[in-house]
Amino acid sequence: MKFVITLSTASLLGLISILHVYWAYGGRWGSVAAIPSRVGEYKPAFTPSKIGTLIIAILLLYACFILLVQGGYIHYYFIPNTIIRVGCMVCAFVFFIRAIGDFKHVGFFKKINHSVFTRNDTWLYSPLCLLFGLTYTLLLF
């Protein structure tokens, strides 16, 4: 069970990272559903920069790497140690906080519920972040 959860989470993180690279280089597929809207408007709440999107892609790949090392799937050169455990704790914390949200635009406790993003956030993005956080927590023990 741990094998399936770990590898599926790593695969999803890798795919999401690739999607962010695609968006950073001008791709538009799925971008409307990935950015929250302002209250009462259908305009995006912010416009992500190319560099910011690439940074998110790199952080997602790093989170995937931490997951694979902590799970024992990358073991030739890297041994799970204190730094990887701390990274695993940070990733779990970040994904749990993302699932809870900011109480306005994102997360399970958001107040704005009128856009494509909010529907996707309720049924896909926040549950995935919760799954990711639980996977990191599972690998810590």
Model pLDDT for residues 17-46, shown as the tens digit of each residue:
999 999 999 888 877 778 887 766 677 777
Q: What pLDDT shows up at residue 40?
A: 65
Query: Any idea how long the chain is?
Result: 141
Alpha-carbon span 52 to 31, nearest angstrom: 14
Alpha-carbon span 97 to 89, nearest angstrom: 12
Alpha-carbon span 6 to 29, nearest angstrom: 27
Q: Please give the share of the chain, as a percent, with pLDDT higher than 90.
A: 54
Mean pLDDT of 63-84: 84
The reported pTM is: 0.87
Q: Is the pLDDT of residue 78 over 70?
A: no
Q: What pLDDT shows up at residue 80?
A: 66
Q: How far is CA 65 from the centre of its chain?
A: 13
